[in-house]
Structures are given as structure tokens and as C-alpha cells.
């Protein structure tokens, strides 16, 4: 992974941050992107202090213009993007019957359309280099469904379909496209859940523990490596056995 440039969306915290750290430790130059500049600047500074190459990119994944600008500037200043991790995601939960169209649209725009637009931006460079790794962060709910999350589930299931379609389109160019589907991971997104709900979730996890962002990052690091060169169109579950 040495001398490869990796671009990670939603890198300010949780899974995205862990992915940035893991890829940097594997030798990649990392561009960490998010809307909150303070957090990504802090992460980039922390990585540089450990003699890693890192740059912060302020980017709104729900804006086509922001995506285009952020990725183009990174490629120009930091080198061609060889590894893309589409991690940025939001939730706006509610029962389907009462879900506002704006809540549907914003989740799909960020979680699915944003990932597609980011892929579009990096493909020409990967095709020129005849090497690329795209890893989309889906979710166990994209495979199994979840009540009260029709928009989020649809976006994460859509990412799996997108992964398989782009994998087939790009295979002849030595570009692999895979997805990682985390289960219940301890992040800011899940911290607000009640202890009762957490205990109920643990009952369904055979490994009997909540996942860590580093568990997901390890899977991403593998799929982005040379060792994973014969894997494409795959969905790697990181869920403690929650769904088999």
C-alpha cells in the first residue's frame, strides 16, 4: 500500500477515522474527508505526528460540486487516488408510513448518491493506473432489513447493488470493488441507544460483544491490499455472527 493515496469519506470519527488510521499504518497516504474540518484537521495532524502522510479535505458528501472539488484537489495535490473508502453516512429514522420525503431524500443523497458520485470521480484515474480499490461501507441492515429505517436500509442495500455493478464494469481494469457490512459497532451513531436495547442486541450476537471501529477497519485494510487482488463484488460481514 506504500505510495498509494487513500481517500476516506466520513473520516472525522468512528469507523471512518479507524479506517484512516489503519490505512496510514499500512503505508498509504491518506486524505481524510468530512464536513467538520476541526476533527479531520486534528486527525491529519495526529497521523503526521506519527510520520504518516495525511491531509484533511473539507467535503460535503451530499453535494455533487463539493465531491468533485474535494477529490480533484486531492488528486492534484496528493497524487492519484488509488483507494476509495465510501464511509460517510447519516440516519433519519422513522416509520415508513410517516417518513417525510426530505428525510428519505437526504439519507439516500448522502449514503448512496454521494458514494456513487465519489466513485465516478476516482474511476478515470484508477483506469489510467490500471489499479484501484473501492470499499463501500454498507451495513447488516442492508442485508437483513430493520424496522423504522426504510431510508437507511434502502441506502445500504443500494450500496451492495452498486458494489456488484461497478465490480463487473471495472474488473478488466484491475479495479476491485467490495463492500463491508458492519453489524452493531460502538460508534457515536449507536451510543445513544438505551442499555436495554444494547443488551437485547447482544443476545443475538454469537460472539457476545459489541464490535469496535477497528474491527471494521481491519476488513477495509485487507480489501484495499494487494492480498485481496482476487476478491471483487464481495460483501464482507463484520458482525460477530449477528447475521450468517
Res. 195: pLDDT tops 90: no
Q: How does the average pLDDT of the chain come out, rounded?
A: 96
Q: 56-106 pLDDT, tens per residue?
A: 999 999 999 999 999 999 999 999 999 999 999 999 999 999 999 999 999
Q: Which domains, and CATH codes, for the chain?
A: 5-238 (3.40.50.720)
pLDDT of residue 189: 67
The answer on pLDDT for 20 being more than 90 is yes
| Maximum C-alpha span of the chain | 52
The gap from C-alpha 46 to its chain's centroid, in whole angstroms, comes to 21
Please report which helix (H) or strand (E) contains residue 137, including its range.
strand 132-137
Rounded average pLDDT over 37-64: 97
Query: Is 187 a residue whose pLDDT tops 90?
Result: no
**32: closest CA among 9, 48, 14, 50?**
9
Of all residues in the chain, the percent with pLDDT exceeding 90 is 92
Contact status, residue 191 vs residue 184, Cβ threshold 8 Å: no
pLDDT at 5: 98
CA atoms within 13 A on the CB side of 123: 14
pLDDT tens figures, 210-220: 999 999 999 99
- Three-state DSSP class for residue 80: coil
pLDDT digits (tens, 9 = 90+) for 153-168: 999 999 999 999 999 9
pLDDT at residue 88, rounded to an integer: 97
Phi, psi of 211 (to 5 degrees): -70, 160
Catalytic residues: 152
- Residues facing 84 on adjacent strands: 7, 134
Q: How far is CA 224 from the centre of its chain?
A: 12
Amino acid at each position: 500500500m506504500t505510495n498509494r493515496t487513500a481517500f476516506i469519506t466520513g473520516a472525522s470519527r468512528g469507523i471512518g477515522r479507524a479506517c484512516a488510521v489503519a490505512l496510514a499504518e499500512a503505508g498509504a497516504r491518506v486524505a481524510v474527508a468530512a464536513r467538520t474540518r476541526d476533527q479531520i484537521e486534528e486527525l491529519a495532524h495526529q497521523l503526521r505526528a506519527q510520520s504518516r502522510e495525511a491531509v484533511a479535505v473539507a467535503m460535503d458528501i451530499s453535494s455533487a460540486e463539493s465531491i468533485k472539488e474535494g477529490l480533484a484537489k486531492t488528486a492534484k495535490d496528493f497524487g492519484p487516488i488509488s483507494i476509495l473508502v465510501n464511509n460517510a453516512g447519516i440516519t433519519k429514522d422513522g416509520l415508513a408510513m410517516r417518513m417525510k420525503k426530505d428525510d428519505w431524500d437526504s439519507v439516500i443523497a448522502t449514503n448512496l448518491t454521494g458514494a456513487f458520485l465519489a466513485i465516478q470521480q476516482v474511476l478515470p484515474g484508477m483506469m489510467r493506473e490500471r489499479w484501484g480499490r473501492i470499499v463501500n461501507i454498507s451495513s447488516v441492515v442492508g442485508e437483513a432489513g430493520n424496522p423504522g429505517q426504510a431510508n437507511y436500509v434502502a441506502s445500504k442495500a443500494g450500496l451492495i447493488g452498486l458494489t456488484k455493478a461497478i465490480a463487473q464494469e471495472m474488473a478488466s481494469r484491475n479495479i476491485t470493488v467490495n463492500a463491508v457490512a458492519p453489524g452493531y459497532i460502538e460508534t457515536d451513531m449507536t451510543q445513544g441507544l438505551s442499555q436495554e436495547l444494547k443488551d437485547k442486541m447482544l443476545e443475538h450476537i454469537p460472539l457476545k460483544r459489541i464490535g469496535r471501529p477497528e474491527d471494521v477497519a481491519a476488513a477495509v485494510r485487507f480489501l484495499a491490499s494487494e492480498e485481496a487482488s482476487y476478491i471483487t463484488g464481495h460483501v464482507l460481514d463484520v458482525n460477530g455472527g449477528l447475521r450468517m
